[in-house]
Amino acid sequence: MTEGSPLSLHVPEPEVRPGGTPDFSNVPIPKAGSVPRPEVDADPKSIRDLAYSIIRVLNREGEAVGPWAGTLTDEELAEGLRHMMTLRAFDTRMQMAQRQGKTSFYMQHMGEEAVSCAFRKALNQGDMNFPTYRQAGLLIAGGYPMVDMMNQIYSNERDPLKGRQLPVMYASKEHGFFSISGNLTTQYIQAVGWAMASAIKNDTKIAAAWVGDGATAESDFHAALVFASTYKAPVVLNIVNNQWAISTFQGIARGGSGTFAARGLGFGIPALRVDGNDYLAVHAVAKWATERARRNLGPTLVEYVTYRVGAHSTSDDPSAYRPKTESDAWPLGDPVIRLKNHLILRGVWSDERHKQAEAEILDTVITAQKEAESHGTLHAGGKPSTRDMFEGVYAEMPPHLRRQRQQAGV
């Protein structure tokens, strides 16, 4: 550029727009089993390369290979498959319920089921997740009743949160699921603070923070990494890179770091990238990171490379910003099908057993849905009591609220 030439602003563009041919050739995918597994107490500087690779266990033939394999038994994997299938069936029914006007809003997990379902199996009782709205697998894999989840979605008379939250913004202290915030990334710094408090109390519980790729651009994300790094908080910092922040492709939030995992390196935090559609790889990495936290070795940042198959929410139309066939071209496949094929190869599953499980799971989900709907839906049946808005806020209700409650006649 010659002196005096005008400057120009660089605005990243997605590889392809609606109507184009999907192209993921810019996503380098290492061979399954090729990424080394370091010792849990490895110096972060010695494993910097893991922030730029992708840890994979399942190969194209469905075999579990490499140093990250072997963290789960066949029985545990079959249970994990059922958890993912349950979440998918749950999503289908609740998406349909929203279209029928039974709830105002819903968000699916299609393509991302392995991330939350597998991670949950690496946690202990008392550990706390600080999730986003796309980690319901933490609840399903943790045994939280689907009926209660549906009651919350319908905001009915049995809603555990008494109508105080948007649909899908669950909360359960007993199941290690902190109340979801609609304001993105607030939960990241909260998770670090919770983990620091656990360490201050000399407890044994750890925290897990969750965020999507787009929300890493928020200031709370960077503040969380500063505190986690400085105080070696016992926390796993999860980034679910599903390629799209609503309609904005991941290149905007990622900036020039190359990968989202690389964000951790500048803070001295060990950072790993994992195939988010590989149940075995997700669990292996989660187990490594949680063990590091439990051994008082500090935080770990994990990027899950996955793909959001469905719309961002029931209010979104992805055909306006990406090709309709893009999900079919995603090179890391479907997490349910990949685990199913692995179990068939192991001789502990079959196509017939899979069809039977689908029918059994769908029946269980429909039964739960009927029970939840008997307590009301968005426009019909029982609703939370008006009295509930006055409860659960103060240990002792102040006089002005008592007067308001009396005036309301509740």
Q: Is the pLDDT of residue 3 over 80?
A: no
Query: In whole numbers, what is the pLDDT of the chain averaged over residues?
Result: 96
Q: Which of 66, 64, 71, 63 is closest to 53 using CA atoms? A: 66
pLDDT digits (tens, 9 = 90+) for 287-333: 999 999 999 999 999 999 999 999 999 999 999 999 999 999 999 99
Tens digit of each residue's pLDDT (9 = 90 or more) over 163-194: 999 999 999 999 999 999 888 899 999 999 99
pLDDT at 2: 62
With vertex at residue 227, the alpha carbon angle to CA 225 and CA 230, rounded to the nearest 5 degrees, is 105
Q: What percent of the chain has pLDDT over 90?
A: 93
Q: What share of the chain is helix, strand, coil (3-state, %, to 5)?
A: 40, 10, 50
E strand intervals along 306-377: none
CA distances to 221, 264, 324, 394 from 238, in Å: 11, 11, 28, 33
pTM of the model: 0.96
Residue 71 C-alpha from the chain's centroid: 21
Structure confidence at residue 205 as a pLDDT band (50, 70, 90): very high
Q: Give the model's pLDDT for residue 241.
A: 97
Residue 37 has pLDDT above 90, yes or no: yes
Q: Does domain 48-311+321-379 have CATH number 3.40.50.170?
A: no
Q: 303 Cβ partners below 8 Å, 6+ apart?
A: 51, 239, 241, 259, 260, 261, 271, 272, 273, 274
Residue that has been written with the tokens 């039977």 in this structure: 356
What are the residue ranges spanned by the domains of the chain? 48-311+321-379
Give, to the nearest 10 degrees, the angle between helix 74-99 and helix 335-346.
Answer: 150
- Note the pLDDT of residue 26: 83
Burial grade of 408 (CB within 10 A; 0-12, 13-18, 19 or more): exposed
